């Protein structure tokens, strides 16, 4: 029997409130019976992969004070993606201050056999784990295991993976016959692996197709190369969650970079900088 997953939609449907700090950021249980709601349009997650690791504590504190609602931990295994990137030890280190600020730890597993690592991220204090569809033999079962570990579950797709495959997997049927649904589909807007790549403009049309075809309570997240010129059109296409690394951390002041992204979400979708996108 699955425990109540910490679904983003439930946790993020209201303003963040400080978690009890006695245990160093103990997570709140999810609100019982809360109706899944749309995430607020300020759900921009900061990926620590793009941070200056020697200044991580200061940068994290600054972003949390600026209203960051999620901190994104990219995990690369040197196999599914070439880089060996952050792991559960980083999630565990940041979880207490993130939770104390009422924000979430969102882990993006760019690893083969993601199911082997779920328990490590749960123990580290992760609230949400997204794995790559291309890396999982049984996505429905993996979603179920993430939920059983008390976390929200997401499925990520590379730019080459079809929307068909994502929709099918996000609504998979487990071997036990139970239908499971991913809380989030993460549409990569760069090739997974590194921060600092350019946004692939075809992502906007993919988001729109995902939005048309996914259940209403399935959230769509966009990750990679997202800048101020992309946010409004991505939001108009149906994305509610954004991951922006270099736009935040490679800005002279990450809190200002974050604030500029928030402001950009209010811009009309006509502010389109990628003319090759379909209208
Ligand atoms: C890329 C990672 C992203 C990355 C985002 O593989 O999944 O989360 O850190 O950084 P930017 O916004 O610089 O592409
Ligand atoms: Zn990521």
Q: What pLDDT, in 10s, does the model give residues 199-250?
A: 999 999 999 999 999 988 889 999 999 999 999 899 999 999 999 999 999 9
Tokens matching residue 253 = 């002041």
Q: Taking the CB of residue 250, how many other CB atoms lie within 10 A of it?
A: 14
Mean pLDDT value of segment 29-40:
33
pLDDT of 86-109, one tens digit each?
Answer: 999 999 999 999 999 999 999 999
Q: CA 78 to CA 193: how far, in whole Å?
A: 9
Please enumerate in sequence order all residues whose Cβ is within 8 A of that of 109, keeping only pairs 6 or more positions apart, or say none: 75, 117, 121, 129, 130, 131, 132, 135
Give 157's strand partners: 187
Atom of ligand 1 nearest to the CA of 197: 14
Radius of gyration, alpha carbons of the chain: 17
Tokens matching residue 262 = 């928030």
Residue with the two structure tokens 């997570």: 27
User: For residue 193, is pLDDT > 60?
Assistant: yes
Q: Is 184 helix (H, G, I), strand (E, B) or coil?
A: strand
Which mutation among 44, 45, 46, 47 tests ligand 1's pocket best, with the greatest number of atoms within 8 A of CB?
47
Active-site residue (options: 106, 127, 183, 223): 223
pLDDT of residue 11: 46
Q: How far is the CA of 23 from the centre of ligand 1 (A)?
A: 31
pLDDT of 178-191, one tens digit each?
Answer: 456 899 999 999 99
pLDDT band at 126 (very low <50, low <70, confident <90, very high): very high
Ligand sitting nearest the alpha carbon of 249: 1
Instruction: Report the candidate in 266, 232, 223 with the shortest Cα–Cα distance to residue 45.
Output: 223
Mean pLDDT value of segment 122-128:
95
Which mutation among 223, 225, 244 tests ligand 1's pocket best, with the greatest number of atoms within 8 A of CB?
223
Using N-to-C axis directions, what is the helix angle for 88-100 and 56-65, rounded to 10°? 40
Atom of ligand 1 nearest to the CA of 196: 13
Q: CA 107 to CA 187: how far, in whole Å?
A: 15
148 is catalytic: no
Atom of ligand 1 nearest to the CA of 226: 12
* Protein residue closest via CA to atom 9 of ligand 1: 195
pLDDT band at 3 (very low <50, low <70, confident <90, very high): very low
User: For residue 192, is pLDDT > 60?
Assistant: yes
For the entire predicted model, the pTM comes to: 0.84
Q: CA 67 to CA 44: how far, in whole Å?
A: 10
Please enumerate in sequence order all residues whose Cβ is within 8 A of that of 162, keeping only pairs 6 or more positions apart, or say none: none
Mean pLDDT value of segment 18-26:
38
Tokens matching residue 73 = 């931990």
User: Could you give phi then psi for residue 46, rounded to 5 degrees?
Assistant: -100, 120
CB 262 within 8 A of CB 44: yes
82 is catalytic: no
Tokens matching residue 166 = 């994502």
Residue with the two structure tokens 């991220």: 121
Q: Taking the CB of residue 268, how many other CB atoms lie within 10 A of it?
A: 9
* Protein residue closest via CA to atom 4 of ligand 1: 195
pLDDT of residue 181: 84
Q: Is 103 helix (H, G, I), strand (E, B) or coil?
A: coil
């Amino acid at each position: 029997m699955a425990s109540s997953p910490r679904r983003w939609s439930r946790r993020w449907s209201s303003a963040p409130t400080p978690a009890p700090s006695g245990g160093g950021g103990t997570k709140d249980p999810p609100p019982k019976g809360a109706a899944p709601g749309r995430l607020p349009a300020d759900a921009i997650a900061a990926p620590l992969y793009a941070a200056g690791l020697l200044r991580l504590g200061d940068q994290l504190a600054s972003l949390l004070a600026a209203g960051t609602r999620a901190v994104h931990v990219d995990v690369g295994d040197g196999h599914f993606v070439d880089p060996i990137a952050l792991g559960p030890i980083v999630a565990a280190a940041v979880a207490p201050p993130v939770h104390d600020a009422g924000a979430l730890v969102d882990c993006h597993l760019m690893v083969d056999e993601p199911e082997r690592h779920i328990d490590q991220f749960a123990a580290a204090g992760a609230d949400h784990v997204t794995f790559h569809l291309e890396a999982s033999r049984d996505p429905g079962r993996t979603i179920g295991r993430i939920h059983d570990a008390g976390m929200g579950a997401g499925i990520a797709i590379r730019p080459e993976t079809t929307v068909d495959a994502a929709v099918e997997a996000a609504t998979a049927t487990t071997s036990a016959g139970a239908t499971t649904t991913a809380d989030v589909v993460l549409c990569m807007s760069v090739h997974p692996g590194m921060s600092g790549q350019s946004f692939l403009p075809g992502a906007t049309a993919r988001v729109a197709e995902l939005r048309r075809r996914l259940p209403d309570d399935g959230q769509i997240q966009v990750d990679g190369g997202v800048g101020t010129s992309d946010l409004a059109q991505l939001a108009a296409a149906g994305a509610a969650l954004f991951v922006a690394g270099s736009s935040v951390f490679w800005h002279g002041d990450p809190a200002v970079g974050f604030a500029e992204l928030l402001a950009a979400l209010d811009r009309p979708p006509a502010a389109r900088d990628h003319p090759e996108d379909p209208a």
